[in-house]
Amino acid sequence: MRETFLPFAPPMIGEEEIEEVIDTLRSGWLTTGPKTRQFAADFTAYTQAPGALTVNSCTAALHLSLVSLGIGAGDEVITTPLTFAASVNVIEHVGARPVLADVEPDTLNIDPQKIEQAITPATKAIIAVHYAGHPVQLDAIRDIAERHNLHLIEDAAHAIGAAYKNQPIGSGSNPTCFSFYATKNLTTGEGGMLTGDDEFLDRARMLSLHGMSREAWSRYSAGGKWAYDIAAPGFKYNMTDIQAAIGLQQLRRFEAMQSRRREIVAQYQSAFANDPALQTPVCHEDVTHAWHLYVLRINESELTIERNQLIEAINARNIGTSVHFIPIHMHSYYANRYSWKPEDFPVAFGNFNRMVSLPLSAKMSDQDVADVIEAVTDVVAVSRRRAMVA
**Could you list the active site residues?**
184
Q: How far apart, in Å, are the Cα atoms of 144 and each of 20, 55, 75, 200, 345?
A: 44, 29, 17, 21, 21
DSSP character at residue 175: -
Q: Which value, to the nearest 10 degrees, does the dihedral of the CA atoms of residues 179, 348, 111, 146 take?
A: -50
Residues 6+ apart with CB under 8 A from 186: 160, 161, 180, 247, 250, 251, 254, 257
**Helices and strands in the chain, H and E counts:** 14, 13
Q: Which helix (H) or strand (E) holds 204?
A: helix 198-207
Greatest extent of the chain over all pairs of C-alpha atoms, in Å: 88
Q: How far apart, in Å, are the Cα atoms of 311 and each of 9, 101, 251, 273?
A: 16, 28, 33, 19
Q: Which helix (H) or strand (E) holds 59?
A: helix 58-68
Give me the residues paired with residue 209 across strands.
236
User: Helix (H, G, I), strand (E, B), or coil: what is residue 17?
Assistant: helix
CA distance 345 to 30: 46
CA distance 291 to 294: 7
Q: What share of the chain is helix, strand, coil (3-state, %, to 5)?
A: 40, 15, 45
